[in-house]
Structure 1
Amino acid sequence: MAMSMTIACTGVLGRVAVYAPSRRGCVVKAESSAENNPVTGTSTPEGNALKDRVKSKQTAAAVYTPTLADRDTRTPHSGYHFDGTSRRFFEGWYFKVSIPEVKQSFAWMYSVEDPSVGSNSSASSLPFGELFQGMSFPGVGAQIMGADDKYLLQFDENVTKFWGSRHELALGYTFTPKGRVSPPMGEVNPQEFVNRVEEGFQVTPTWHQGCLRDNGKTDYAETVPIARWEYSTRPIYGWGDSGAEQKSTAGWLAALPVFEPHWQVCMAGGLSTGWIEWDGQRYEFEDAPSYSEKNWGGSFPLKWFWIQCNVFEGVSGEVALTAGGGRRGLPLVPGAYEEVAMVGIHYDGKFYEFVPWEGSVEWDISTWGSWKMSAKRDDYEVNLEATCDSPGCTLRAPTADLGLAPMCRDSFFGKLKLTIRNRSSGKMILDTTSDMCALEVGGGPWYNSWKTSARVQEPLKSLLRYSIDVERVFSPVPQLKPPGL
């Protein structure tokens, strides 16, 4: 699923090669590079050199490094938030790689639901288990939306094989172990993973590998039977200015179990190198723009939208956009809701954040095909317009009453125009476009266009304006630090 952001690799694009398997091994099906003439498609000496490298299979290799706790781009809420209670709970992660040279993207969506129920023999063994048994949906889901908006789903109700780091962005699951070996229950080196896991995944801020097989239970999307991948990532942006303390996407109140679901962009942008096997082709890439985010809580919002892009044209430097909004329930007020949204942009090392407790955010989203947003704060204003002609792909999301159910529609083929302007001087800070924007609508009902502005009620609006470093609060007593922070 999504609510996200990422980095544009402009100026110096990465490398990519696409192979199709054959009986003699891998045969080059298509190859491209940034040095090819973008208008005529004719090659240059640099492009020919890349082709020679592709044909000799001298592509860059993924490089594994263990997860470091003190990395510069680490954001709050990197860890797994499950606190052991029996309430309805999910946590979901989204990892994306875009390959501009072939105009394709891949996104992995992992989710774990009701781990307390799934780790017991029956729901009735929990407090009030019989009462809430019908509201529990234990399971681990792994979805991939890949090239040409095709889809893969693997799901298992057994949550005991899922592992997630309490305070770091690291998680994994084994659907099928190799032979009789035990599945990993923590981060392992890539070779050990291959030796112990037939079907499953492991992912950290700098490493992602796995193999998934579609379960054949999706009749509303074009599916791919099997996918394999292995790539390393060099994070560039977290969620904040480069070199500064990284921020909580939804403000410091995300440390409390209110305003669910919560949302955190873990890596606004990075550069990934490795390979993906998908739908009979093998994509090998170097320095491909990549992104990650997460959600957690009781379920997804009642209704939401999302705009995310990391590949832009006509601009130098690195650009990353994430925008999203939703209708969510208010804590302690049954049946009451609020509509909130935000826009976040990283550009040339600076973070431009537009949130409703510091300014205004407005949107006009159609049932499908048009996304418009504008936002202002004291010093800057942003406008974005996106359209999509592709029918998109239906994805699953954790819901309150159905579990992991078809609930949203996505596409990687959106067309986007984005501008940022200085309000006092009128100077245009950024004016750029893309034809690789990721777009989503979810929940409902979507009877017609959704046009409104964000409203945060008092006293919450005033509280969110305070800058509180929740992690620093717990630094003297790390043993009391809540899970997920």
Structure 2
Amino acid sequence: MFKEIRNPDLYHGVNRKKNFFEGWYFKIVDKNCDNVFAFIPGIAKGNSLKFNHSFIQVLDGKKVKYNYIKFNSSSFKFKKDKFSIAIEDNNFSLSGISLNINNEKDNISGNIKFENVKKWPDSIVNPGSMGFYNYLTFMECYSHVCCIDGNIIGGLNINGDYIDFTGGKVYIEKNWGRSFPKSWIWIQSNSFDNKRVAFTCSIGRVPFICTTFSGFLVSIMVEDKFYKFTTINRSKMKIIKKDNDVNIVFTKGRLNLNVMTYSNKYEFIQCKGPKDGNMIPLVDESLNGKITVELFNNKINETIFKGVGNCAGIEYGGEMQIL
């Protein structure tokens, strides 16, 4: 168990028999942001064996298409000592993915490799992006950023078209536990012009013992420097809802991070998410949004970074007003 805590990339469900889910989220974008896909392999264990299965979710952000592909739970394979999972002939790891999907909705095959992968900086005390919360065994949902930014080599054959992702970007995260939060916001982009910049933001209403709180994991990487705004490091957050979008301001000491989303309500895809280990329609996600990000140092009155993130992932769930 300690191994999985120290390396949250690994599979956590070996001894979990029911009311459990675990899924890894791979978002890939080509060089010019003309194509953006998400592949979500995972496993679900409901309150009865008949609900147990593994799955791959396929999201096509540009065409606003979705496919939930079910497999037997026995098709899910994993390695104990490193991040490497497989569902039938589909393999997923930090070094790349190989796909062989062929059903009535999708025909996808090929191999792509990931290089120059950047992980969330952590420590023994605060492993992964969720930090010391990983040591607590009673959390409803755990979240972890496996790769905040990486480069892609190779392409995929997708429904009769070859798409070259070389020079594009990959982002990888995962969730596991019992259920998604009652309310959440997720925003992500690592497709910025000119500089190597990656932004990720997860906000959720977290049940904790006899109360709840709004927890958040936010990071922006500018070139090779990470700036973290999290519940753990006592950052502050203010959310302003604007129609279908949000303006969020994070503050940590002298640093101020201002984020604004821009989305089209017709580009959101309804996906399945976990409730007590059962996968149900729960998630509304767009892969075709935009965000503006400004990181500012108040002490010296200087803008560290200001820019636009394209092919942004934007996701809302539940009752946003309680965040």
CA RMSD of aligned residues (A): 2.4
Q: If the length of structure 1 is used for normalisation, what is the TM-score?
A: 0.60
Gaps of 5+ in 2: 1-5
Matching of residue 235 in structure 1 with residue 116 in structure 2:
yes
1:110 corresponds to: 41
Matching of residue 212 in structure 1 with residue 66 in structure 2:
no
2:309 corresponds to: 434
1:140 corresponds to: 54
Aligned residues: 314
Deviation, 1:214, is 4.5
The separation in 2 between residues aligned to 1:274 and 1:246, in whole angstroms, is: 34
2:9 corresponds to: 78
Gaps of 5+ in 1: 1-74, 118-131, 175-199, 216-223, 453-485
More helix as a share of residues: 1
Q: If the length of structure 2 is used for normalisation, what is the TM-score?
A: 0.89
Deviation, 1:95, is 0.7
The separation in 1 between residues aligned to 2:185 and 2:113, in whole angstroms, is: 29
User: For residues 76-225 of structure 1, what are the structure 2 equivalents within 5 Å?
Assistant: 76-114=7-45, 133=48, 137-146=51-60, 147-156=62-71, 158-174=72-88, 200-214=89-103, 224-225=105-106
User: What letter matches 2:138 in structure 1?
Assistant: V
* Higher RCO structure (Cα 8 Å, ≥6 apart): 1
CA 1:85–1:283 in structure 2 vs 1: closer, same or farther (change >3 Å)?
closer
Superposed CA offset, 1:336-362 (max 9, x none): 432222321111111100012322022
1:468 corresponds to: none
Contact 1:325 1:341 in 2 (8 A): yes
Give secondary structure in 2 for the equivalent of 1:394.
strand
The separation in 2 between residues aligned to 1:240 and 1:319, in whole angstroms, is: 15
Matching of residue 341 in structure 1 with residue 216 in structure 2:
yes
The separation in 1 between residues aligned to 2:255 and 2:127, in whole angstroms, is: 19
2:3 corresponds to: none
Matching of residue 292 in structure 1 with residue 172 in structure 2:
yes
Superposed CA offset, 1:185-234 (max 9, x none): xxxxxxxxxxxxxxx3111111210122346xxxxxxxx43222310110
User: What letter matches 2:37 in structure 1?
Assistant: F
The separation in 2 between residues aligned to 1:385 and 1:81, in whole angstroms, is: 34
Runs (4+) of structure 1 exceeding 3 A deviation are none
User: What letter matches 1:101 in structure 2?
Assistant: N
1:450 corresponds to: 321
Matching of residue 268 in structure 1 with residue 141 in structure 2:
no
The separation in 2 between residues aligned to 1:451 and 1:239, in whole angstroms, is: 28
1:31 corresponds to: none
Deviation, 1:82, is 1.5
Bigger Rg, structure 1 or 2: 1
Give secondary structure in 2 for the equivalent of 1:450.
helix
CA 1:327–1:214 in structure 2 vs 1: closer, same or farther (change >3 Å)?
farther
Contact 1:205 1:235 in 2 (8 A): no
Deviation, 1:172, is 0.4
1:322 pairs with 200, 203, 210, which one?
200
The separation in 2 between residues aligned to 1:390 and 1:282, in whole angstroms, is: 29
The separation in 2 between residues aligned to 1:294 and 1:320, in whole angstroms, is: 17
The percent of aligned pairs where both chains have the same amino acid is 21
Deviation, 1:83, is 3.7
Give secondary structure in 2 for the equivalent of 1:437.
strand
Contact 1:153 1:213 in 2 (8 A): no
Give secondary structure in 1 for the equivalent of 2:32.
helix
Deviation, 1:290, is 0.7
1:410 pairs with 256, 275, 285, which one?
285
The separation in 2 between residues aligned to 1:380 and 1:170, in whole angstroms, is: 37
User: For residues 244-393 of structure 1, what are the structure 2 equivalents within 5 Å?
Assistant: 247-313=127-193, 316-331=194-209, 333=210, 336-357=211-232, 358-365=234-241, 369-391=244-266, 392-393=268-269
